[in-house]
Amino acid sequence: MKAVSISSSKMLQNNLGNSSGSQNEDGSVFSQAEHNIVATYLIMAGTISILSNIIVLSIFIKFKELQTPTGAVIINLAVTDIGVSSIGYPMSAASDLHGSWKFGYAGCQIYAGLNIFFGMASIGLLTVVALDRYLTICRPDAGRRATTHTYLSMILGAWVNGLFWALMPIIGWASYAPDPTGATCTINWRKNDVSFVSFTMTVIAINFLVPLTVMSYCYYHVARSIACRTAGNCTDFLSRDWSDQVAVTKMSVVMIVTFLVAWSPYSVVCLWASFGDPKRIPPSMAIIAPLFAKSSTFYNPCIYVVANKKFRRAIFAMFKCQTHQAVTTLDMPVTTFLPMDVPQNPLTSGRI
């Protein structure tokens, strides 16, 4: 057991030693003052993310009418955000305050694996959001035929996909290691061997290009449907439900765009490491990439509040401790509080 521990420690030190740029005595390319700045940001952002996502979950728990299949997608997105916020932020902040990675080899594998797990699951769930919008706007008949089982299967698929890719570096396809800052762990992009390149290219193809293609297809047809109904001055378009669907679709697009923007720097770093010299990646970019990726955890709750007035009303109702009857007296029915509102029954095994 002691030999394993020594071996793991040596591996961690070797990974730190391979960092680009000049390093301080703790194996980091940043000064302690810079680490403290990053730690302050992580503590603040993590606190905001955890509290805001807990509020989202509380709303769905308080208002049973929101517990529909599409509501389940939002709940799972909030869980992924809380997962990153409660694990990724504290461990990174503690390591930054320490000046180097604080949790050893095993902690590095757990930290990086869970961040990849929640990140990949989020991408899958956002793809489910796009499919939901497509079915609701473009194929309403097919959307009504979808059952709770259909939604739960798609949600489970997103989680299983995230788990698969999180485990691959642990069992030998690529690897996890501290980044040049020495205060966070991620895919070991400084070791750009065949294993890393093949893993990176496969992940980008399956977890970026495929979802992006599906989302683009769905939202392209959604935009066309909305444009056609608007141009035709359709009676459906003038209805409150259809107006809600348009607003919710715009909000969903913003959610996906912000997520892609947040993860783009990390993708650029991995591609740079795959096809270029990882030693030439600037240390500033090495720290900005994971910070941007983590920042996606507090975007969604902000988008719900800013872009969806019905969700704001649900929040106000919750903080005012209004009863079910009080909430339903608002000028919108409570079922339209859903961030992705679509006429649905509560979560059951029957049809939607």
- Tell me the pLDDT tens digit for each residue of 218-251: 888 888 887 777 666 555 544 545 566 666 677 7
pLDDT at 337: 35
**According to the model, what pLDDT value does residue 340 have?**
40
DSSP secondary structure, 31-83, as one string: -HHHHHHHHHHHHHHHHHHHHHHHHHHHHHHH-GGG-SHHHHHHHHHHHHHHH
User: Which H helix or E strand runs over 178?
Assistant: strand 176-178
Whether 169 and 115 have beta carbons less than 8 Å apart is answered as no
Position 307 scores a pLDDT of 64
What's residue 345's pLDDT? 45
Only one residue has tokens 């302050």, namely 40
pLDDT at 10: 46
pLDDT at 120: 92
CATH 1.20.1070.10 fits 30-337, yes or no: yes
**Looking at residue 79, what is its pLDDT?**
92
The whole-number pLDDT of residue 308 equals 62
Task: Report pLDDT digits (tens) over 257-276.
Answer: 887 788 788 778 778 877 77
Task: List, for the chain, all residue ranges whose pLDDT scores fall below the cut of 70.
Answer: 1-29, 65-66, 68, 230-248, 305-311, 321-352
Contacts of 316 (CB under 8 A, 6+ apart): none
> Which pLDDT score, from 0 to 100, does residue 241 have?
56
Q: Evaluate whether 339 touches 57 at the Cβ level (below 8 Å).
A: no
Q: Which of 26, 37, 49, 13 is nearest to 294 (CA)?
A: 49
Q: Helices (DSSP H) in the chain: which residue ranges?
A: 2-17, 32-62, 69-98, 104-137, 140-145, 148-171, 194-204, 210-231, 235-238, 240-275, 283-295, 299-307, 309-319, 324-328
b/e per residue, 111-144, with b = 16+ CB within 10 A? bbbbbbbbbbbbbbbbbbbbbbbbbbbbeeeebe
Domain segments of the chain as ranges: 30-337
